[in-house]
Structure 1
Amino acid sequence: MTQNPDMEAGDDRAPNDFSKHPSDDQRSRGGDSASGGAEIVRTLRSMPTLWLPFLVAGCVLTVIGRFRIRDPLPVEPPVSGSTLQIVYTVYPTGTTATSRSLDALINLPLDVLLYAVGLELLAIGAIATAGGFTMVRASDRMVSRRRFLVYTGGISVVYLITHLGTAIDLDVSVNSLLVALGAFAVLAFVAVRLFLLPVAVLFAEPLRSAPVESWRRSRGHGVPLFALIVGIGLTSGWLVAIPYVGVVLSVMTVGTVHAVALTTLYELYS
């Protein structure tokens, strides 16, 4: 009698290479977390070329930042180095010193509009290519062109939403600490459950099951995933504040670690 390799992760009878006590669910979860961290480090050390895609993307985004500063279009304020900030995005990326709201693209002459849109498309393309290539390379899987286009499209949607500016008022005034803590808890819960969504978009079969796969595989791993999200967010905001090379360091370090973590944990939490 053979066991189903696709058995739910919550089933104590499921084979687990990282746990010596499959009947003890709590111990198995702890083993998964510890083994996941060790596997992420091992992959990064054994495959140094994984750092190259986001290194190139960081250089591209640095050049784009220089163009944004020099052109007459307004840019959004950079991340402040004097405050502690968690800068986290659901897909592998880093933090840039400059960004541009969609408000800046309104009522522009055609040539200026094409220039501005071209810069933003180049930024999206650099991050999407680096993230997709790194996750595929770390997993040794084959991914169709359609999946990569879906992944790039998802990044574009998230990018547009986060750069809406005043086109849609997303500001929420919270006057109660209790409400603020509740909102933070909900956002943290959703962030944890959707943490594996980018890699699921590339690997899940069928494609429509990607959100379900992310939700299912992250169940029972909330604490380590939340710690990873906070670590990624803090590191991203801290590195970008370094003069001259901050964007390159932020994108290369955070983007690569995030992408490898997604691939490693997606396999481990199956």
Structure 2
Amino acid sequence: MKITVIGTGLIGSQLATELTARGHEVTAASLSSGVDLLTGAGLDMALAGAEAVVNVTNSPTFDEQSIEFFRTTVGNLLAAGERAGVRHQVVLSIVGVDQVPELDYYRAKALQEELLRGGPTPYSIVRATQFFEFMEPTMSWTSDETAVRLPATLLQPIASRDIVDVLADVATGTPLGGVLEIAGPDTFTLDEIGRMTLAARGDRRPVVVDDQAGLFAAVHGDVLTPGPGARLAPTRYQDWLNG
């Protein structure tokens, strides 16, 4: 099966490797390979002969400009996919993306989903929770040399490797025509994740609960955790930290 992966970052690079290992013909498309989603340049060549496309790109910013980024790039990708005869469009999104309108990036990802649903091609939306790999960068936003300040936001993070396995399954299967949620096996508050992470790194700074700190201060309740029917991945955060 020929599959085009759009985006070669943390997820895209692993996904291309995994799909190739499963015996599929993979094209990895990104700016570095001459594919520009914003202008459409290189898309027709990257999608030629592809049966499925997996879109794992990120906006270069997380502010209001991300809305226009996804509006433009989804339009270009769907149009190019229709010209190429693509039979399955897959996108990686975020659990709870339609529940946090205060965050520009979440509104942009919700728009991405909406455009995909209204497009001409059978589709699948895979919504993942926060990546293990992003926990430390998230902590760094509200850290100094004396303490780490984090809100008690409820999360159920997942390893990027587990996301890749699900995306590979979905891309090579029948289009879902809807949403599959995926998450790690355990639920924590963000301040708990912070303490676990610092302990594993030998960092003695305290974690202070601050409901005004950082990106996730805008999130309330359990909207970033999956609902019934979610696929739970096997990797535990503590095991990943110690690995």
The normalised TM-score by structure 2 is 0.26
Larger Rg: 1
TM-score (norm 1): 0.24
1 or 2, which has the higher helix percentage? Answer: 1
Higher relative contact order (CA 8 A, sep 6+): 1
